[in-house]
Amino acid sequence: MKKKLLISLIVGTLFSALALWLALRNVPLADLFAYMTSVDPIWIAVSVILVLFSFSLRVVRWKLILHPAARIPFRDAFHPLMIGFMLNCILPGRVGELARPAILYRNRKVPLSTGLATVVAERVMDMTMLMVLFVLVLANVSIDPSLDMSFGRYHFNRGTLQSIAIAMAQVAVFFILVVLLTSIDTTRNWGRSLVHKMAMLSEKRRNLPARLCYRVCGLILRIIDNVAAGLALAKDPVRLGACAILTVLVWSISALSYYTMSLGCQGIELSLSQITAVMVIICFVIALPSVPGFWGLWEAGGVFAMAIFGIASKEAAGYTLVNHAVQMLPVIGVGLFSAMVTSVNIWQISAEENPPGQ
């Protein structure tokens, strides 16, 4: 399994390099490298600090979401979260979203389905915040209808962004409904009753042996209870409000890190609100299927977003490439450190099957 993951990592790296070349193939590379060497390292350092601070706020938010199911210290939430985001940066398929609850199960015995439910709740909050920001962007930013940029099979324009927003909104609404229905006792009890009736019907018709039938029934009921425990935050208005405030802070700090990065880059004279719009557009663009780490797609989205505000492609490509590294490399570094500190084998945790009964 380690060999398969290693091959996956190598192939992902090669595809990332190809995608990056596709995004920057029309940009003079000599000018781009010269531009990158001119970036002020002080602002890079400030931006890195803000990136890590935003992830610390994510840890606090995750602790609040987990609180009804498990009260864990900051350290025990910090390391799984950073390892999870690190894996998302280097492996395909967003493996980190599954690895995080798996590590939590291994270290704190929190059921995998509970941990996964908390990750879903966290993602719903992020998607909701992004949708609010996107509405504000469309209301305050004029995107030229004729502006159209291609990257591989994708075309970036106002219509593309709106299509991604609609798809993201549909996913968010679906998960919000799941959270609400799972959190309501009446709905959950109805689901438990339905499982019992299906088990009794299966036993009566002898579709399954009685023992196996009730084992399956018990497993489903445990999963329902575990998921409900992971989504119990929805029933606590105070903690839910605190998580909402933390979500606003996380994205505000992220926007500030983008802005401070721009202060050290030549030819990037955008306001905080404009840089926030660039961040939102990049986040929407990288929601499309891409290689690990979003290399290439991130840069193409950044060049498109900055073209809206009249930034030349060379400066936009330089800023976006450097900022991409600033946003991701510290996360990868801290995630690897967390894996070493907690003695987590990232290859094993990425490949192992779900714990029995979880």
Give me the pLDDT at residue 280, please: 93
* Nearest alpha-carbon partner for 19 in 299, 212, 227: 299
Q: What is the pLDDT of residues 261-283, one digit of tens each?
A: 999 888 899 999 999 999 999 99
Predicted TM-score (pTM) of the model is 0.79
C-alpha distances in Å from residue 265, one per residue of 95, 259, 312:
33, 10, 13
Chain centroid to CA 314: 28
Q: Which residues in the chain come in under a pLDDT of 50?
A: 1, 19, 23, 353-358
Asked if 109 and 116 touch (Cβ cutoff 8 Å), the reply is no
End-to-end CA distance of the chain: 22
Three-state DSSP string of the chain: CHHHHHHHHHHHHHHHHHHHHHHHCCCCHHHHHHHHHCCCHHHHHHHHHHHHHHHHHHHHHHHHHHCCCCCCCHHHHHHHHHHHHHHHHHCHHHCHHHHHHHHHHHHHCCCHHHHHHHHHHHHHHHHHHHHHHHHHHHHHCCCCCCCCEEECCEEECHHHHHHHHHHHHHHHHHHHHHHHHHHCHHHHHHHHHHHHHHHHHHHHHCCCCHHHHHHHHHHHHHHHHHHHHHCHHHHCHHHHHHHHHHHHHHHHHHHHHHHHHHHCCCCCCCCHHHHHHHHHHHHHHCCCCCCHHHCCHHHHHHHHHHHCCCCCHHHHHHHHHHHHHHHHHHHHHHHHHHHHHCCCCHHHHHHCCCCCCC
C-alpha distances in Å from residue 61, one per residue of 13, 19, 104, 123:
32, 33, 15, 11
Q: Which residues contact 47 (CB under 8 A, 6 or more apart)?
A: 257, 258, 260, 261, 264, 323, 326
Residues of 272-304 as b/e, b for ≥16 C-beta within 10 angstroms? eebbbbbbbbbbbbbbbebbbbbbbbbbbbbbb
Three-state DSSP string of 24-45: HCCCCHHHHHHHHHCCCHHHHH
Cα separation, 22 vs 20, in Å, equals: 5
Give me the pLDDT at residue 14, please: 62
Cα separation, 110 vs 236, in Å, equals: 20
Give me the pLDDT at residue 356, please: 43
Cα separation, 348 vs 171, in Å, equals: 30
Cα separation, 158 vs 147, in Å, equals: 8
- Find the Cα–Cα–Cα–Cα dihedral 253, 100, 60, 323, rounded to 10°: -10
Give the mean pLDDT of the chain. 78
By the 10 Å C-beta count (0-12 exposed, 13-18 middle, 19+ buried), 306 is classed as buried
Q: What is the pLDDT of residues 17-42, one digit of tens each?
A: 554 555 455 555 566 667 777 888 89
